[in-house]
Amino acid sequence: MAHIIVLGGGFGGLAAAHELRRELPEEHRVTLLAAEDWFFVGFAKLWDLVGIRPLGQGAGQLAALEDYGIRFVKARITAIDPESRRVETSAGSFDADFLVVALGAVDALGKVERLDGAAHDLYDPDALPAMRGDLASLDSGHLVIPVLGGPYKCPPAPYEAAFLLDDHLRQRGVREHVEVVVTTPLPTTLPAAGQEVSNMVARALAERGIELRTQHVVEAIDCETHTVSFAGRATLDYTLALAVPQAAPPPVVAESPLAGEGGWIWPDRVTARTSFEGVYAAGDCTAVEALPKAGVFAEATGRVAARNIVAELTGADPACYDGSGYCFLEFPERRASALEGNFFTEPTPEVHLAEPDAETYARKEAFEAERLHEWLGV
């Protein structure tokens, strides 16, 4: 009998735990450890921000995992020893025969010391009430969406936020008095997806009068003077700044022997195996060349990790990840497009962005509903 412990209850962890439970005989135990006892899909934050739907409506409780035969322990993981596969947590020590590390990424502010007043972390769910309040009183001035650094979660999200906020301001009848600007340190909107896709996104922004500034590396945000400073001395005043944080490895990962360059885990990109026996890693806590930090990829790699553990335990066929996947890009008026293809093709990913339509928006809604239902019975 083996005990498999999944670290993290996000996309990667939930996909892995369910796959293990589905595929393994009952005698094997599956435990999932996570600091938070709830799960929601990242894009629901933007829906909450612009009043489409409150965040809580799209959340599921991890306690529901027990109904599927997966033990859930709410605990903060403080140390991981991949050699012995022992995990220290706020709820004591846990020993495993196999580990799946799917601890996600933390949001970091890069060179920015702090955000307060009218400058917020766009990805922070706790900041949503304050952001909504500031947005409601934004009648004129500058709305700035600066990407603080790369990598960051969900590469299309800053543009998606710009489209939704543009639409929100139009509905309030104040858009002509508010300039909307997105800045990125990258040379194009979505370099990982290639020039053609980047151009499409840039055109869609321009059509809506949203200013795009590429190659703008944020050096500082002065919350007193309401100024964003960029390398090279350019500055931008803001009335409201909604900053996209840089993704950083969780400290417990960066401080563990699993950490490689940059503090990330660098598993084999096809099998999700790490260099430690019986230890697999999936999702945003890993660095896999060309793979964006997005739920779809966390889920796919979590499932591959699980199937390879099943293969080790039962002799079933092992699994390989081929690099295919998609990210949604939402436009106003309930339309979305999917950035879809294979991110492992050489020399560049083969990824396409279709025109936005209502069908893809329905697919995005179903994406959330299916995962909440399948994983947490919502």
Ligand X SMILES: Cc1cc2nc3c(=O)[nH]c(=O)nc-3n(C[C@H](O)[C@H](O)[C@H](O)COP(=O)(O)OP(=O)(O)OC[C@H]3O[C@@H](n4cnc5c(N)ncnc54)[C@H](O)[C@@H]3O)c2cc1C
Q: What is the contact surface with ligand X in residues (CB under 6 A)?
A: 8-13, 33-36, 42-43, 45-46, 76-77, 102-104, 123, 153-154, 157, 250, 252, 283-284, 293-296, 298, 327-328
- Shortest distance (Å) from residue 137 CB to ligand X: 22
Distance from C-alpha of 76 to C-alpha of 91, rounded to nearest angstrom: 8
Instruction: Report in angstroms how near the CB of residue 286 gets to ligand X at its nearest.
Output: 8
Nearer to ligand X, 105 or 226 (CB): 105
Nearer to ligand X, 110 or 229 (CB): 110
CB of 46 to ligand X, least distance (A): 5
Sign of the alpha-carbon dihedral angle for 191, 347, 298, 100: negative
Of residues 37 and 312, the one with the C-beta less far from ligand X: 37
Reference 283, options 313, 261, 306; nearest CA is 306
The CB-of-12 to ligand X minimum distance in angstroms stands at: 3
| Number of residues assigned to the chain | 378
Residue 173 burial (C-beta neighbours within 10 Å; 0-12, 13-18, 19+): exposed
- CB closer to ligand X out of 202 and 288: 288
- Closest by alpha carbon to 270, among 230, 341, 317, 322? 322
Specify the residue, 42 or 318, whose C-beta has the smaller distance to ligand X. 42
Nearer to ligand X, 226 or 327 (CB): 327
- Upper half-sphere CA count for residue 366 (Cβ side, 13 Å): 7
Cβ distance to ligand X smaller for residue 35 or 220: 35
Q: Are 181 and 219 in contact (CB under 8 A)?
A: no
CB of 73 to ligand X, least distance (A): 10
For ligand X, which residue has the nearest CB? Answer: 10
In DSSP terms, 324 is beta-bridged to: 342
Cα separation of 287 and 66, whole Å? Answer: 31
Instruction: Show the tokens assigned to 14.
Output: 């939930």
Minimum distance of ligand X from residue 327's CB (angstroms): 5
Please give the Cα distance from 349 to 132 (Å, whole number): 37
Tell me the closest approach of the beta carbon of residue 153 to ligand X, in angstroms: 4
149: its two tokens: 């650094």
First-residue to last-residue Cα distance in the chain: 31
The β-bridge partners of 325 are 341
